[in-house]
A and B are shown apart, each in its own frame.
Chain A
Amino acid sequence: MTLIGEIIAVFLTLAIFSFLYKDNPAYRFAEYLIVGVTVGYGLPLVYKNAFQPFVLQRIFVEHKFIFLIPVFFGILFWFRFSRNYGWLSRYPIAISMGMVGAGVTMSMNSMVLVQVRQAMIPLETFNIFLIFLGTITVMFYFFFSKAHTGLYGKFSRIGIWYMMIGFGASFGYTVMARISLLIGRLQFLADTFKGWIA
């Protein structure tokens, strides 16, 4: 069984690699298979980890019939694809969207205000000054209510340089990321073949 598994895994890996040559049936087979298998894999997990404890046990074992209300709303999700009753699905969606309110103040807090605080720390070293300069010039660049002319324009040009260096950093890291994935696969192939030979 282990050997069969390995053969399948190697075959599927090579099937995907064959895309490098060109799009072909083996690639497409693997491609379509993964979609089905992934969803199929999730189904029993959802049943076991969510449906059973949160729905079945609550109603049939604990007899907490108040939970029939969320079950009702949950079922309304399924009307999403109905032509005439599609609007019913808006109710559960609306309920799940409610938490967006928490997102407003919390994102404002963490993504904006905390960063603003960090941007105004005392300029004790030259590096902190450079960071300060970079932050405000990049913000100038993304300020659309004033044309980039004169001194202001020059100032926002500095922002571009900062951004380019920043993107360069992302670029360098991304190269590493892509190669890492390939390393992982080649390592797998090498190990498997080694195992077969042994």
Chain B
Amino acid sequence: MTDSKEKLIAELVNKGLDGDMDAVNACEDRMIRAKAKAMIVKVGKGTAERPPLPEAVSSVVSEVLPKETAPVEVNKNVNQKVKDMVENEFPGSTIDGDDFIQLYPQKWFEIASWLRKEESLFFDSLQCQMGVDIGEENLESRYNLHSMKHDHYVEIRIAVSRSSPKIPSVEQIWRIADWFERETYDMLGIEFVGHRDLRRILLPDDWEGWPLRKDYQEQETYHGIVVPKVKEGWE
């Protein structure tokens, strides 16, 4: 709480010094207003340094001071629009697709952090991450992103080859991706580069094979226990 207050004060002081005293006066909280004004006076006198502008606008600050950023579109499915924006920001990273965004895996981490931070998109919630065996020697990882603030969602697809399935991990951007990626690794064997704790999550550590690949063969025994049902005698 105090942290966000300090950030707010720093922001107000900067605005005030730049001549925008209305923003300071418009502040609801008397304490913050008083502190900000006092600091402006101090900076003016030279007894205090100008506070550094808070860098990453955290969600807490953006609530207190709503910026004039309208959501991208009224339509909840903003795939086409977002795709153009991604292509603008990171040229050559998208592939043509219908109603989803198909990306090359190389720049996924940068794109993901941009999607998370960009004010007009603000995808703060990773709804679902899954892997699919799409055949043709390819595996695909799909991300359903959702913005709690603007209430819109997109779907992102990243295809990788079956022989070396490597995709940058986004678990540091959305914390839930940690477990989602572990599950996809567990089920399809897609390796997420940069994941800090990539282990099997559901199956035991010594399990063989990737069950959700279409060519999966059950193992015969696990620690001496027969895995497939022996059908003799009861069918």
Q: Is B a genuine binding partner of A?
A: no
Binding site for B on A (CB under 8 A): none
